Amino acid sequence: MRKSQSFDFREVPVTIIWAVVLLTVVGLIVLKSISQHNSGAFLHNPFFKQIIFLIPALIGAIGVLYIPRYSIHKYAYAIYALGIILVLLPFYGNPHAGTYRWLNIGFSLSIQPSEFAKVFIIISLARYLSDHNLQMKNFTSIIIPIIMVLIPTAIVMNQPDLGTAIVMLAPVLPMLYWSGARPFYLFLVLAPLLSMLTAFHNIAFTIWAFVLGLTIVIARPNRLMSIGLFFGNIFLGLFSPFLWNSLTPYQQGRIITFINPEVDPLGAAYQIIQSKTAIGSGGIFGKGWGEGTQTHLKFLPVQESDFILSVIGEELGFISVSIILILFGFLISQVVKHSFFSKDRFSSLALIGFATVLLSHVFVNTAMTVGLIPVKGLPFPFISAGGSFLIASYLMIGFILKLSVNYTE
Amino acid sequence: MLKAENIVSFRQYLVAIGITWFLIFILLARFFQIQVLGHDRYKEKANTNRIRKVTTTAPRGLILDRNGQIIVDNLPTYVLTAIPGELSEKGEKFGLISNTIGLDSLTVTKNYKKYYRGKFIPTRLAKDLTFHQISKLEENRLNLEGVYYQQVLERYFPSKVRASHILGYLKEVDKTVRQSLEKRNEYELGDMIGWNGLEKKYESYLKGKRGIYFYEVDAFGREVGHVTELQPQNPEPGQNIVTTLDIHVQKILENLMTGKRGVILVGIPKTGEILGAVSSPDYKPDLFTGLMLEQEWDRVLNHPDKPLINRFLQGLYPPGSIIKMVTAATLLKNPDFDPNMVQQCKGVYQFGDRLFGCWLDQGHGEMDLTAAMVNSCDVYFYKTIHYFDLDELSKSFKSFGFSQPTKIDISGESNGIVPTTAFMNKLHGRYGWSRGALLNICIGQGELLVTPIQVLNYINLLASRGKAPVPHFVMVDRLPENSRPKFESSDWDRLITDMRQAVADKNGTGKSAQPNISGLKVYGKTGTAENPHGENHAWFTGWCKVDDQNYSIVVLLENAGSGSAVAAPMVRKVFSQMFSQDGLAVK
């Protein structure tokens, strides 16, 4: 019997599967604790909901394994278009709590299209960057992928969903780096962002201007470009206070509270304080499963998704949190390793993209729960409750497993 | 299509792995900082987050009479509350409540707004509901989701006496009241505090100690359970206080004073105990408890006779002839004065170019000191003023406790006025008055002003030959020091026999004070005080002696006429009712 494909299930990296299984089980254990006193309807119990969503998630992941690799590559742009359409669709429906993040699909079920768009963007980016005719020495080769990412990101930002937008944006630079772009160009991409951020602080802005100038001198682009770059960035910095005013008060509030949490002790800062209190009071070994007072007395907000790590910190302690984070580091290292050893550029780029998405999820979510960055509505992969996110994460794992297997055609 | 080969360098791979573990390390370091280094701080924070302290008020001590009868008791009433977060269709529910218990629905809505403090904090809708009203609401329980009731204790007056000026009343501690308190930490908003009378004076005894218990709340402030690791403290009820009052005596006095303006005080000179005290008109003792209608309050406040004023403590009156014992005692102090020397009373006395009349226009004729006391002759005293000067007289007054608070155990006493040279100079100027002023003061008129409680102390001191303790309403171990007038024993004897004569003599002005009870002797002195408010005030002050026990009495009837005609008969009524039955009212 001749195999239609030389994909061999025995080559699938088992370590990745184990890591995902462990994380999922930890998630279920924590969700069971949260759901203890849940007397509501069956479908409102996060624990059972998660178990139910695991079924389509597993089907999706296994299904991906059966998609031929060339098909993934072939239809990459088509699913990119699909992703754009998906994130646009919620704007034609009714808003949920003032946002357009959710798409009603009937049976009182909603999906969050941005979660899936995230996956699709990586595949299309990987396809574009893996074109062997692409000259990465050209600056334009960098611009196009950035625009490809910025379109869905801008739409998601308007839903508004800042957290997902950041995660969506995250893979583009690592993928460019992976495809051999000059680090100086990547610096140029980042430069305007830093100019805007430092503009609000005189000393920071001065230091930044110095660093910018120094980098330009070392990289030695032509004279006209150097002058343009330098003054372009400085003007952007001077202009950014006006940009700030164009942000919605909701977005401004979140940034301000991050910089000075005392401004709004009962809003976003309240969440950070309660989260830190939960984590800190857990100590090394935690208060025990189901014993978290911060969790069960509902001091901890959105505990089943955004702040689930705080629940783990409170009930299971520093040891468990460390195990989870190290396990994640291990999972991502594995993906990066498979990316490095991948034979073709498309798979390698897609893998580094997925690794970045997972890592940015973990970093943004965790950093938020411990008050390192402003509150972003972003869940923790495999552990947080959330149907769309769980399915999307498992789809990513499906793609990771599929693309990790090297074969010859 | 997939021909492009992977061109990732090992360096790029190392950078990627490095960044990954660097970020993971940052997160781990932060968790270590919060969970391991900051554990103690956050643990405490988590505890205070969830634990709420709740205090319960202690039952207030009771107020008893000298025989252990309850004058002020606690009565359970009900407070109706609602938890806003559990309340839907407010309007309908408030309507139903007001219909069921017969209350204005506007009041319910107003209370709801006034007491609203949070979504899950019980908000008061109505108070002072009876058990009956609560049971009616209970029938509608299914339609009143989110509405609760609580039992609270309220002051209740089971005896027949009013004694409102003595007992005082309670006030709810609000923000302004709390600001004004010295021990404000001991009170919470909504507590009751003694605001007047004995309730105020003995607040620290009556109050008791509040109970404390801890409960666990969720982030919305909803109670979810008790905290086992913190011991609750049960409330300690306040101490009962035993008053010197006798319900029976108090009742007699209140009945006799109904419809009259004035004061009656009855006490025991030897101990300073007050058996009964009435300031009339008074008000119902429960006026300030429970629901007070606005018109009821207005009626009390705007009553022309000012029932809220405690006349025996705050009222300032010219004493008239009841202070002639002070004048007599001052005369007796002078060795040149001979009490048996006779003065002629022709009904009028000329001092300088002014004429001073005796109360008896035709005159009393020949009078010695005893006769002058018995007949209350004014001219006798006019003619003897050269035996003392103003400051000697005022010293005597002060030695009997006038012009200073008696230190009775109800606050708000007036001081009264005893004129001295300095006082008269200040009032009229150095040359604006003359020795003639003594003519008024020596018979209890002029600038002299006293409170009835000072008069009771004065008469107690006379009856006990200067040894009476300060008048008081509550049985206590230690009393403040009283004034100690010092006179020769023979002078005391003379004053006391003269007072007996003023009642026993056939011409005695106080003769109608003597009831027809064998073994009961009344001693006393009438007074008829001229005042700028119309008819004379009628005074009688004295005591009766029964089985070697003295019972002092002060009667003041405002603008009622002469002491002899009005006040003295009142004394007879009091004593005959007090001692009518075999078992004396006083034990």
Average pLDDT, chain B: 88
User: Does A317 touch chain B if contact means CB atoms closer than 8 Å?
Assistant: yes
Which pLDDT belongs to residue B565? 94
Checking if the pLDDT of B210 tops 90, the result is: no
Please state, in angstroms and rounded to a whole number, the distance separating the CA atoms of residues B78 and B149.
Answer: 6
The residue of chain B with its CA nearest to that of A330 is B21
Which pLDDT belongs to residue B248? 92
User: Which residues in chain A touch residue B13, judged by CB atoms under 8 angstroms apart?
Assistant: 336-337, 339-340
Which pLDDT belongs to residue B239? 93
Please state, in angstroms and rounded to a whole number, the distance separating the CA atoms of residues A100 and A113.
Answer: 10
Check CB contact under 8 Å for B24 and A372.
no
Please state, in angstroms and rounded to a whole number, the distance separating the CA atoms of residues B58 and B72.
Answer: 16
Q: What is the mean pLDDT of residues B338-355?
A: 90
Beta-carbon contacts below 8 Å between A and B: 160
Using a CB–CB cut-off of 8 Å, the residues of B that contact A are 1-8, 10, 12-13, 15-17, 20-21, 23-24, 26-28, 30-32, 34-36, 38-39, 41-43, 45-47, 49-50, 216-220, 224
Which pLDDT belongs to residue A109? 73
Which pLDDT belongs to residue B102? 82
State the pLDDT confidence band at A320, using cuts at 50, 70 and 90: very high
In this predicted model, what pLDDT tens digit does every residue of B527-581 receive, in sequence order? Answer: 999 998 889 999 999 999 998 899 999 999 999 999 999 999 999 999 999 987 6
Which pLDDT belongs to residue A98? 67
State the pLDDT confidence band at B587, using cuts at 50, 70 and 90: very low
Structure tokens at A173: 């630079």
Strand B211-217 relative to strand B170-172, pairing: unpaired
Checking if the pLDDT of A370 tops 70, the result is: yes
Sequence-distant (≥ 6) Cβ neighbours of residue A310 within 8 angstroms: A274, A275, A276, A278, A279, A294, A295, A300, A303, A369
Q: Chain A: give the shortest CA distance to residue B226, in Å.
A: 13
Question: pLDDT: is A126 or B182 the higher one?
Answer: A126
Please state, in angstroms and rounded to a whole number, the distance separating the CA atoms of residues A354 and A64.
Answer: 14
In this predicted model, what pLDDT tens digit does every residue of A254-284 receive, in sequence order? Answer: 666 555 544 554 556 677 888 888 999 998 9
Check CB contact under 8 Å for A367 and B8.
no
Question: With a CB-CB cutoff of 8 Å, which residues 1-60 of chain A face chain B?
Answer: none
User: Does A310 touch chain B if contact means CB atoms closer than 8 Å?
Assistant: no
Average pLDDT, chain A: 84
Structure tokens at A275: 């989260």
Checking if the pLDDT of A132 tops 70, the result is: no
Which pLDDT belongs to residue A70? 86
SS3 A109: coil
In this predicted model, what pLDDT tens digit does every residue of B130-150 receive, in sequence order? Answer: 888 888 888 887 788 778 887
Q: Are B138 and B168 in contact (CB under 8 A)?
A: no
User: Which residues in chain B touch residue A73, judged by CB atoms under 8 angstroms apart?
Assistant: 1-2
Check CB contact under 8 Å for A70 and B2.
yes
Which pLDDT belongs to residue B572? 95
Task: Please state the three-class secondary structure of B510-525 as a single string.
Answer: CHHHCCCCCCEEEEEE
Question: pLDDT: is A156 or B229 the higher one?
Answer: A156
Which pLDDT belongs to residue A256? 67
Which pLDDT belongs to residue A291? 84
Please state, in angstroms and rounded to a whole number, the distance separating the CA atoms of residues B574 and B261.
Answer: 16
User: Which residues in chain B touch residue A330, judged by CB atoms under 8 angstroms apart?
Assistant: none
Check CB contact under 8 Å for A355 and B16.
yes
In this predicted model, what pLDDT tens digit does every residue of B148-164 receive, in sequence order? Answer: 887 788 888 998 899 99
Checking if the pLDDT of B191 tops 70, the result is: yes
Mean pLDDT check: name the lowest of A163-177, A319-333, B455-469. A163-177
Please state, in angstroms and rounded to a whole number, the distance separating the CA atoms of residues A149 and A399.
Answer: 19
Which pLDDT belongs to residue A336? 94
Measure CB to CB from residue B45 to each of A281, A317, A329 and give the nearest one: A281
State the pLDDT confidence band at B220, using cuts at 50, 70 and 90: low
Q: What is the mean pLDDT of residues A197-223?
A: 80
Entry field: residues in chain B: 587
Checking if the pLDDT of A131 tops 90, the result is: no
Which pLDDT belongs to residue A181? 81
Checking if the pLDDT of B348 tops 80, the result is: yes
Checking if the pLDDT of A337 tops 80, the result is: yes
Checking if the pLDDT of A202 tops 80, the result is: no
Which pLDDT belongs to residue A262? 45
Which pLDDT belongs to residue A266? 52
State the pLDDT confidence band at A43, using cuts at 50, 70 and 90: low
Mean pLDDT check: name the lowest of A6-20, B91-105, B280-294. B280-294
The residue of chain A with its CA nearest to that of B9 is A340
Q: What is the mean pLDDT of residues B40-68?
A: 84
Question: pLDDT: is B107 or B225 the higher one?
Answer: B107
Owner of token pair 């634990």: B51
Question: With a CB-CB cutoff of 8 Å, which residues 179-208 of chain A face chain B?
Answer: 179-180
Structure tokens at A311: 């629940």
Among candidate residues A312, A391, A108, A287, the one with its CA nearest the CA of residue B50: A287
Q: What's the angle, vertex CA B67, arms to CA B65 and CA B68, rounded to 5?
A: 65
Which pLDDT belongs to residue A1? 35
CB-side exposure of B361: number of CA atoms within 13 Å?
0
State the pLDDT confidence band at A112, using cuts at 50, 70 and 90: confident
Which pLDDT belongs to residue A409? 44
Sequence-distant (≥ 6) Cβ neighbours of residue B14 within 8 angstroms: none
Please state, in angstroms and rounded to a whole number, the distance separating the CA atoms of residues A240 and A322.
Answer: 39
The residue of chain B with its CA nearest to that of A352 is B16
CB atoms within 10 A of CB A298: 16
Which pLDDT belongs to residue B525? 96
Which pLDDT belongs to residue A171? 92
Checking if the pLDDT of A4 tops 60, the result is: no
**Residue in B3, B7, B11, B27 to test binding to A, most A beta-carbons within 10 Å:** B27
* Beta-bridge partners for A175: none
The residue of chain A with its CA nearest to that of B29 is A322
How far, rounded to the nearest angstrom, does the alpha carbon of residue B204 sit from its chain's CA centroid? 14
CB atoms within 10 A of CB B22: 10
Amino acid at B242: V
Check CB contact under 8 Å for B3 and A344.
yes
Checking if the pLDDT of A3 tops 50, the result is: no
Mean pLDDT check: name the lowest of B212-221, B276-285, B325-334, B452-461. B212-221
Exposure string (b/e) for A138-175, b if CB count within 10 Å is 16 or more? eeebbeebeebbeebbebbbebbbbbbbbbbbbbbbbb
Q: Chain A: give the shortest CA distance to residue B42, in Å.
A: 5
Which pLDDT belongs to residue B462? 95
Check CB contact under 8 Å for B16 and A336.
yes
User: Which residues in chain B touch residue A178, judged by CB atoms under 8 angstroms apart?
Assistant: 8, 12, 16
Task: Please state the three-class secondary structure of A158-175 as a single string.
Answer: CCCCHHHHHHHHCCHHHH
Which pLDDT belongs to residue B584? 54
User: Which residues in chain B touch residue A359, judged by CB atoms under 8 angstroms apart?
Assistant: 20, 23
